[in-house]
Amino acid sequence: MTMDVEEVKRRAGPREFSPADDLPEEYRTAATRMLEFHANSEIMGAYLERPFIRQSPSLERKLAFSAKVQDEIGHGQLLYRAAESLGIKTREEMLSDLANGDGKFLNCFHYPMTEWEETPMIAFFVDGAAMRRQATLKQSSWEPYAHAMDKVCFEEGFHVKHGESILAELMNGSRKEQRLTQAAFEEWWPRILQFFGPTDDQSTHHDFAADVGLKTMTNDELRTAFLNSYLPKAETYGLEIPDEPRIRQNDDGTWDVVEDDLDWEEFFSIAKNEYEPGLGQINARKEAQAAVEWVREVLDDREAMAAGGHTGQAAD
Amino acid sequence: MIWEVFRQEAAGDYHAHCGNVHAPDREMALLFAEIQHGRRKPTNSLWVVPQDEVGEVDTDEAVFGGTTDKSYRFAQTYSVEPAAEEVEASEEEQTEAERKRGDL
């Protein structure tokens, strides 16, 4: 018998629910929304960094970026599997939605990244923010999500430290490198502050996801934890924190971000996939997906042959 | 017919291989698995799989992790202080994996 929402809320705890449980549609829909967003973000992040396999200034960086992009695509696959096991959407549907502009993903991955000095903004700050969030999702009530986070967090430490290593190198490099890195930081900083979304009273999906244990920390708590770890790092490397957007630390260690200093119109147009540069990112991946359509067809044919003894084409 | 048995100790844990049973069909395999593998150690769930259906690749055929130096893949290679506790935890797991592979 299908569990009702009240029972889900009562039982909600770390790794409590698995595909063996008959969960109500509200839970499965909310979990699918979170997982699909997360999976899409892994894929779009990988595409953002892929050009830097070529543009890396050294062989070591090239190897590391290549490994990292491979990891992120793998994380996407893990998460699509964890999402698919909820029975709401198939992996094919989620990938098609991402290609046709219906799939949602992180704000930071809607912005183009062209210069080497920008790479630590994603590879250190955004990945660091993502890892903060992912570490808490090891306690998610959807067991396949928590299990995916075990592997993701195992691998992610390399990503963040590699990103920090690039930042350290650039900020100890030439004056020009330092200047360009500071400029990149100023451009990306407001986007990074928006990573955790608007303050909690404006977040629409949080309450239910928290009540059923899908997530365990609020946007505000995650933003505070991130700032407490990563702001001192930025300062250590000599980055100057821009005066605006204004941020202020309270006596209890939490942080307030002056929301009016951030561009929420841009943020919400990004959230709806209506931001022009972001559409470029979406369409570039769509083309890459179309270019390897033949590979998926070959695999599907092979699967059909193994299952039924004849190919899809022969069935026509 | 042999069935491989995977036991999960508590909800949320991984199913880990714990042995196998002889049984003529799935129903009896589940019953025998319950009796042989689910009684003494804490058990929340068992997976029972026909042995023939388990694919295997081992070190005779594969070089797991490849043959080249992959140190660029690991957090401990980058000499910066971990920015946060979760980064440090990840590095510890990676160092542990390196130790188990015999690379330390």
Same-domain check for residues B49 and B88? no
**Number of neighbours of residue A253 by Cβ within 10 angstroms:** 10
Neighboring chain B residues of A162 at a CB cutoff of 8 Å: 72, 75, 78
In percent, the amount of chain A with pLDDT more than 70 equals 96
Task: Give the closest of A18, A132, A168 to B80, CB-based.
Answer: A168
Looking at beta carbons, which residues of chain B come within 8 Å of A60? Answer: 72
Tell me if B47 sits within 8 A of B18, measured CB to CB.
no
Q: With CA atoms as reference, report the closest residue to A225 among A254, A262, A184.
A: A254
| CB pair distance less than 8 Å for A15 and B13 | yes
Contact A132 B72 (CB under 8 A): no
C-alpha Rg value of chain B to the nearest Å: 20
CA B74 to chain centre: 21
Is B12 in the same domain as B46?
yes
Looking at the structure, tell me whether residues B61 and B104 fall in a common domain: yes
Q: To 10 degrees, the CA torsion angle through A75, A81, A83, A199?
A: -10
- Model pLDDT, residue A311: 47
Instruction: Provide the domain limits for residue B38.
Output: 2-53
Judge if B71 and B103 occupy the same domain.
Answer: yes
Print pLDDT tens along chain A (316 aa): 899 999 999 999 999 999 999 999 999 999 999 999 999 999 999 999 999 999 999 999 999 999 999 999 999 999 999 999 999 999 999 999 999 999 999 999 999 999 999 999 999 999 999 999 999 999 999 999 999 999 999 999 999 999 999 999 999 999 999 999 999 999 999 999 999 988 876 656 668 999 999 999 998 899 999 999 999 999 999 999 999 999 988 888 888 889 899 999 999 999 999 999 999 999 999 999 999 999 999 999 998 998 876 544 544 4
- Answer yes or no: do B63 and B77 share one domain: yes
Say if the Cβ atoms of B83 and A135 lie within 8 Å.
Answer: no
Contact criterion met (CB below 8 Å) for A234 and A182: no
Identify the pLDDT of residue A309: 61
Q: Which of B12, B31, B53 is the last residue of a domain?
A: B53
Tens-place pLDDT, residues B16-55: 999 999 999 999 999 999 999 999 899 999 999 999 999 9
Å from A296 to nearest chain B CA?
A: 22
Amino acid at A164: E
Contact B86 A14 (CB under 8 A): no
* Secondary-structure breakdown of chain B: helix, strand, coil percentages, each rounded to the nearest 5: 35, 20, 45
CATH superfamily of A5-268: Ferritin, core subunit, four-helix bundle (1.20.1260.10)
Q: For residue B12, list its beta bridge partners.
A: none
Which chain A residue's Cα is nearest to B84? Answer: A229
**Same structural domain for residues B66 and B44?**
no
The residue in chain A having the minimum alpha-carbon distance to the alpha carbon of residue B71 is A64
Nearest-neighbour CA in chain B from A153: distance (Å):
6
* Statement to judge: residues B6 and B49 lie in one domain: yes
Q: Chain A: nearest CA to B80, how far in angstroms?
A: 6
Total number of domains in chain B? 2
Contact call for A16 and B93, based on CB within 8 A: no
Which element (helix H / strand E) includes B2? strand B2-8
The partner residue sitting opposite B94, judged by closest CB among A14, A63, A157, is A157
From the candidates B90, B91, B96, which should be mutated to test the interface with A, based on the most A CB atoms within 10 A?
A: B90
Q: Which residue of A has its CA nearest to B81?
A: A161
Task: Return the residue of B nearest to A154 by Cα.
Answer: B90
Taking an 8 Å cut-off on Cβ atoms, the answer to whether A153 and B73 are in contact is no
Binary contact (A134, B86; C-beta < 8 A): yes
The ipTM (two decimal places) reads: 0.84
* pLDDT digits 0-9 by tens, B72-93: 999 999 999 999 999 999 999 9
Same domain membership, residue B63 and residue B37: no
